[in-house]
Amino acid sequence: MSDQSSTRTPTGDPGGRSSSARAFPEDPISDKPPAPAPEAPPARKKPTKVRAGDRIFQNLTTGAGIFVVALIALIGIFLVVQAIPALKADKVNFLFNHGWSTNDPANMAFGIADLAEVTVATSLVALIIAMPISLGIALFLTQYAPAKLARPFAYVVDLLAAVPSIIFGLWGILVFAPAIEPFSEWVNSTFSWIPIFAPGNIAPNVRGTIFTAGIVLAVMILPIITSLTREVFERTPTAQVEGALALGATRWEVIRTTVLPFGKAGFVGASMLGLGRALGETIALAVILLIPQGRNFDWSLFDGGATFASKIAQNYSEFNNPTSAGAYIAAGLVLFVLTFLVNFAARSIVGKKVG
Amino acid sequence: MKIMRPLGAVGIVASAALVLAACGSDPSASNSGSGSNSAAPAATGTAQVDCGGKSPLSAEGSTAQKNAIEVFNQAYNKKCSGQKVNYNGTGSGAGVKQFNANQVDFGGSDSPIKDADLEAATKRCASPALNIPLVVGPIAVGYHLSGVDNLTLTPQVIAKIFNGGIKNWNDPAIKAVKGNESLNLPDKPIQVVSRSEESGTTDNFQKYLGAAAKDVWTQGAGKKFVGGVGNGAQGSNGVASTVKGADGSITYVESAFAKDGVTPAKIDSGSGGVELSAENVAKSLDAAKFAHPGTNDLAMDLNGIYSSNVPGAYPLLLTTYEIVCSKYSNPDVAKAVKAFLTVAATDGQQPLSAKGYVPIPQSLQDKVLKAVKEIS
């Protein structure tokens, strides 16, 4: 039921707007792909003579498109080229080793296992906290809030995205961490039998933990998830909403039967984009997280550590030889690939729905 | 717009207040300048300066002395109006490289240049290159332990704490240090806090431990902390705020950050506990030996300072150097460099204390001025 109705909406909406003529022969079963296909070729065929302005504009836009792709490719090549000498000099397994020793270019032993685990852990904590809150905000803004309130409220949420991450970092470590310390201690001592709440590797300190960092990170990715989700929810077809209301559905039932099924994929995609941002977040984490000396990440939320990005940020000022720098660049390469995959997955989820 | 304007004004007032607070609350500011002690008539003299020459001078190097160079620049500009130095804080290695490549008029470095670098610099100058120490900053061993505010530590104990040999504050080794007998040291684990990024402070601290507690500190030196215990925090401010927030923690940090809950420990190198103060640092510098005695190259023998036990001398400090030519091919450059270094060694020293450095003592100032005078 929900599936059928949602496939119908994209057809009805853009089709009805772009050409009113085609709105007539439309029947509910015909789906979207055929619709744009016949539309595009006639538009191009009719004027056989291509005007100069058209051509220039097309070239400009094509160029812009190629530029971005080339840029990404060049960044990838740069990372690979710089990383290879360091990877060759690496004495241990790059992917599975937990240590990081790059001071002596002749005797380098570094692996990204710890960085990867901390990166994933902080991002997951952030995501788990941010997803339900974002969903709540988006639903509130689109379904409950009066229009007068919704717009300024949405601006405020978007404004959150404009706060520089160093501000979040400083707030996190100077204000938030001390404030949440009693709660962290309570969770830590009460639930220490659950592995993820076990005493951390920076104990007895409970401020510069993945727990703290994850919450701050959640605040940072809230606006991205919220605004994208809100956009998707706003597009819920009015006809469906009104239909549900006509059938006697309450507000909550309307959300459950129309808004959520329609916006689910968009919400998941938005969350993945938020995850992408969380994975790459740098300076806030560098400021908040304490880094244990000689102990590895142990899957406790009260551990400290360094993520890919924070590790690079902390050490970039002392890249004094290309081989040692290459080790960090190799870590950056892994992060590059990781965020690329996450974004790719996010896009394909969002795209599946729209296309 | 109506809302923004008052906010902007508030911002300006707030930042001004911050700047003022930063100047006012500095502990070392109150320490310095009270140089009635014969060992520490901190350099105040306003020397005769022969202004002129190239402006702006270009310089590059150590980030540790960037703030100091800014102070010098202000003094230089005041003394020789219109003259200034453009200093690029890119790191000691880069500074030496640029100096040797003849890209800048002088370099800034956390450690004196020697060996291959010195040869290259001599080649660039076509005359001996000189290390001129102008910026001295003590490092505090700062701790936060409720109920204890008068701790004395020996280099051996410090080394053991920072490499995990001592793990608890009630360890008998801490109690056994002279001056700690009456302290009520709690049964509390020691949280060591270090710098998580590479840092010259870490390098000097570890060199100090390697020199002063040879048998205990076998980890070596380097810009990365190699003690293998505790947690790393980002930047001096990061370690200081971490220590502030954690009872039972200890760190090493530039003296300017050892305040408001981070207490600097006294260091006992064998002749009794020595407090961290400008006078006591000056005593250490007075007793310092030079790597090339008798020449104008004032590279200091830091190992000598670190392992000395001169009574009342605070040994844990770092010095940064300006790398200059003893003879510049362009007399214009030579004139400006001389004028700048002269101002830096005289008028520039006193205001340094507000930035957490200590003014160089008379004895060193004399040597610096002599060396600068002979630059041509």
At A280-290, the pLDDT tens digits run: 999 999 999 99
What is the distance in angstroms between the Cα of A296 and the nearest Cα belonging to chain B? 12
pLDDT score for B65: 82
Maximum CA extent, chain B: 67
pLDDT tier, A46 (very low <50, low <70, confident <90, very high otherwise): low
In the predicted model, is pLDDT for residue B159 greater than 90? yes
Are A291 and B231 a contacting pair at CB < 8 A?
yes
Q: Of the candidates A205, A314, A317, which has its C-beta nearest B196's C-beta?
A: A314
pLDDT score for A123: 95
Structure-token pair, residue A56: 């220039």
Are B241 and A293 a contacting pair at CB < 8 A?
no
pLDDT score for A168: 94
Instruction: Please answer whether residues B323 and B61 qualify as being in contact, where contact means their C-beta atoms are separated by less than 8 angstroms.
Output: yes
Q: Of the candidates B224, B229, B231, which has its C-beta nearest A290's C-beta?
A: B231
Q: Of the candidates B225, B238, B241, which has its C-beta nearest A293's C-beta?
A: B225
Structure-token pair, residue B275: 């407090």
pLDDT tier, B26 (very low <50, low <70, confident <90, very high otherwise): very low
Q: What CA–CA distance (Å, rounded) separates B313 from B302?
A: 13
Residue with tokens 């990383």: A83
pLDDT score for B271: 85
Q: Which of A206, A201, A176, A202 is nearest to A189 (CA)?
A: A206
pLDDT score for A5: 42
Instruction: Please answer whether residues A115 and A206 qualify as being in contact, where contact means their C-beta atoms are separated by less than 8 angstroms.
Output: no
Q: Check residue A142 and report its DSSP letter.
A: I
**Taking the alpha carbons of A284, A289, A293, A294 in that order, is the dihedral positive or negative?**
negative
Q: What CA–CA distance (Å, rounded) separates B190 from B182?
A: 19
Whether chain B has a CB inside 8 Å of the CB on A290: the answer is yes
Q: Of how many residues is chain A composed?
A: 355
Helix pair angle (B331-345, B66-79), 10° resolution: 100
Q: What is the percent of chain B where pLDDT is above 70? A: 88
Output the 3-class SS for B73-100.
HHHHHHHCCCCCEEEEECCHHHHHHHHH
Mean pLDDT is lowest, of A10-14, A135-139, B214-218, for A10-14
**Secondary structure of residue A291 in the 3-state scheme:** strand
pLDDT tier, B293 (very low <50, low <70, confident <90, very high otherwise): confident
Output the 3-class SS for A232-277.
HHHCCCHHHHHHHHHCCCCHHHHHHHHHHHHHHHHHHHHHHHHHHH
Mean pLDDT score, B263-272? 90
DSSP one-letter string for B117-175: HHHHHHHHHTS-EEEEEEEEEEEEEEEEBTTB---EE-HHHHHHHHTTS--BTT-HHHH
Q: What CA–CA distance (Å, rounded) separates A42 from B79?
A: 78
In the predicted model, is pLDDT for residue B234 greater than 90? no
**Secondary structure of residue A25 in the 3-state scheme:** coil
Pseudo-torsion of CA B250, B255, B256, B258, nearest 10°? 30
Cis peptide before B56 (omega within 30 of 0): yes
Mean pLDDT score, B216-240? 87
Q: Of how many residues is chain B composed?
A: 376
Whether chain B has a CB inside 8 Å of the CB on A318: the answer is yes
Please state, rounded to an integer, the average pLDDT across all residues of chain B: 82
Mean pLDDT is lowest, of A2-11, A316-325, B204-213, for A2-11
Please state, rounded to an integer, the average pLDDT across all residues of chain A: 84
Best interface-test mutation with B: which of A184, A291, A295 has the largest number of B CBs within 10 A? A291
Mean pLDDT score, A26-41? 47
Whether chain B has a CB inside 8 Å of the CB on A177: the answer is yes
**For B104-134, what is each residue's pLDDT tens digit?**
999 988 888 878 888 888 888 888 889 999 8
Higher pLDDT, B140 or B43: B140
Best interface-test mutation with A: which of B3, B196, B219 has the largest number of A CBs within 10 A? B196
Q: Of the candidates A173, A204, A304, which has its C-beta nearest B241's C-beta?
A: A173
